[in-house]
Each structure stands twice: as C-alpha cells, then as structure tokens.
C-alpha cells in the first residue's frame, strides 16, 4: 500500500533514478526537499536546469565545462606537452585532487566495450587522434579504469598512438583491478601516476 501522496511518490521515484540513490535515500531526500523553504527549492531546481543547459564539452579536451575552453586547457601554467587520457570528467577531477599532475587531459566519455556495443566511434577517440596531430605532444598517459573495458581501451590507444612517435605510458599498479578511478584515494592515484610504465 502506498502511504504517500502521488506527488511525493513521483518525487521519490525520480530521485531514485539517480546513481547511488536507493529507495530509502530517495525517500529521505524527498522529505528533506519538501521541508526546505520554497526559495531554496527554487534555487536548487534553477541551478539544476541552468547547469544542464549551460554545461558542454571543452572544445579541446572534451571535459564538461560551462566555457568554450575549460580552465585547465586555457591555463598557461599547465604542461600542454603531456596529455592524460581518462574515461570521464569524474576521473579528471580525481587526478586534479592529487594536486600533483600538471599536464592536460583528454576525456573519452567512455571506454571500448563490445559487450554493450560501444566501439571507437562512440567515444572521443577520433578527436584525440586529431588533437595529437595538431598539437606538440611528447607523452600520452593512459589512465583508463583497470577493468576489462579500460584495459582494452588502453591497448587500442597504444597501438594507434605509438606509430606517431609519441611516448605512450599507462598508470601503474596501485589501482586495483576492476577499480573505478573516481572512487580511489588521492595517494593511490598519485602512486599510480608516478609509477606509470611505457606501453
């Protein structure tokens, strides 16, 4: 039996569609939102809508940003000769939290995964190759997840990039097999970056 009103039930259902939010968490969030002052709820909903409308991909690295070129790519203090390839913006943010990587990034927006039909044309792979041809890059660090899809992507990228003469390296152990980069602590990520190996 449903003890909530239709509106509350609808809110709980919508919140439970968010990643990591189960039924109980969705219910807690729903009642918290209902208890919030109307001005705060309006500000929250306006912020979500504005963010959705204004956020796009950086035209250089394809991370999510509200600018044409993200702050990392536009920074003159970053080393633009080193490009770290990551699967998504959350991985980029994980490495930025270490405070020790000074290069730039390329965000693939996924990894190669034939089991779900995701091939090279479904991620920002062509854009990476175009970028490497047009920019002066000395090293590409492949920092995809250490699961099957991430490893397959790393090997595929290595085979594509190495003939160009650019050094290709892979983040080292320290990142557990099957581990998602966004969930790993900064010290482990830093050790993986510093211990990277050439492919």
Under a CB-based contact definition with an 8 Å cutoff, are residues 58 and 69 in contact?
Answer: yes
Q: Would the CA dihedral through 159, 160, 166, 167 be positive or negative?
A: negative
Q: Partners of 104 in the beta sheet?
A: 83
* Each residue's pLDDT tens digit, 94-149: 999 988 899 999 999 999 998 889 999 999 999 999 999 999 999 999 999 878 88
Under a CB-based contact definition with an 8 Å cutoff, are residues 143 and 95 in contact?
Answer: yes
The third-level CATH classification (topology) of the domain covering 6-54 is Helicase, Ruva Protein; domain 3 (1.10.8)
Which residue ranges make up each domain of the chain?
6-54, 57-198
Stated pTM of the model: 0.78
What CATH number should be reported for the domain whose range is 57-198? 3.40.1360.10
């Amino acid at each position: 039996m449903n003890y909530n009103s239709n509106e509350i039930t609808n809110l709980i259902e919508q919140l439970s569609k968010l990643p990591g939010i189960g039924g109980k968490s969705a219910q807690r969030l729903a009642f918290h939102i209902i208890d919030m002052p109307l001005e705060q709820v309006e500000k929250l909903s306006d912020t979500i809508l504005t963010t959705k409308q204004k956020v796009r991909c950086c035209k250089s690295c394809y991370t999510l940003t509200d600018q044409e070129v993200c702050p990392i790519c536009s920074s003159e203090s970053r080393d633009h000769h080193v490009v770290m390839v990551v699967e998504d913006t959350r991985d980029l943010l994980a490495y930025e939290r270490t405070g020790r990587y000074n290069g730039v990034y390329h965000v693939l927006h996924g990894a190669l995964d034939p089991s779900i039909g995701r091939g090279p044309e479904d991620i920002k792979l062509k854009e990476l190759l175009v970028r490497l041809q047009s920019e002066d890059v000395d090293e590409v660090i492949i920092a995809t997840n250490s699961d099957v899809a991430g490893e397959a992507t790393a090997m595929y990228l290595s085979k594509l990039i190495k003939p160009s003469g650019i050094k290709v390296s892979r983040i080292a152990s320290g990142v557990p097999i099957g581990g998602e980069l966004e969930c790993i602590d900064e010290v482990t990520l830093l050790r993986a970056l510093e211990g990277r190996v050439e492919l």
